[in-house]
Amino acid sequence: MRVQISTCVHQDNPKVLEAFLDGLAWQDRTGIDVSYAFVLHNPLGYEEEMMRRILGDVYAEVLTTESGPVKRGRFTHFWGDNTVSIVASAKNRLIEKAKADGVDYIFFCDSDQVLQPQTLQRLISLNEDIVGEIMWTKWRLNEGERPNAWDFNEYEFRHGKEEVLRSPGVYDVGFIGGCLLVSQKVLQAGVNYWPVPNLTYWGEDRHFGVRAAVHGFQMKIDTTLPLYHIYRDEDLEGLEGWKRSVS
């Protein structure tokens, strides 16, 4: 089984990227041939050395743009429309590499997430064309935690669905953000992150979800191994306790 693990990276706090990379190195890779391919968006200079120190051989493409990456604030993150387009383009470049290399899956995860050791094995074992892992995040500091998967439109749920996602299982969803395993079959069908020109949905994950549905693929979300999300620097304080609880 060949899997390309990929993300578009820009982290102004090296400790966040280090935690993400440690989570990748932590994965049980029994029976899996893993390769790493990243796009570094306006890198700060420390990223490639850290990647190779923690992961070994890594394909890293540098993307320099006049538009800056996402701005991280304590209250929330701030995305510009142009930044969304840049991230979509970067993810599509990673898709093209996965298609050219003929891997069985591309595994997208964001560089502020920490995976449990069995995450990759679990998602592969489900034998789905598109499946993600749940995480819970306070997208805004004064709100409760909400998931990275939803059913309709920009962020809408069937009645009671959010609470259902609190229970361990695998569920049909319409969209997944941040962490998803995608089969080569999906890539060859042409599903990607380019904006659908006659839709105004904000965010590249939404357009990926629309394209997947149009091509007949049902997204699934697994809720048995929730990710740890370092959405704010202060989330680093709980990381070691979380790792002890899941190891």
Cα dihedral 135, 139, 142, 144 sign: negative
Separation of CA 116 from chain center: 14
| Overall average pLDDT of the 60-89 stretch | 69
- The answer to whether 130 and 174 are in contact (CB under 8 A) is no
Give the predicted TM-score (pTM) of the model.
0.93
Q: How does pLDDT run across 198-241, given as a tens digit for each residue?
A: 988 888 999 999 999 999 999 999 999 999 999 999 999 999 99
Number of domains in the chain: 1
Q: What is the CATH number of the domain that holds 188?
A: 3.90.550.10
Rg (CA), the chain: 17
Structural domain including 239 reads: 2-246
What was the pLDDT predicted at 10?
Answer: 87
Q: How does pLDDT run across 77-96, given as a tens digit for each residue?
A: 444 567 778 889 999 999 99
142 pLDDT exceeds 90? Answer: no
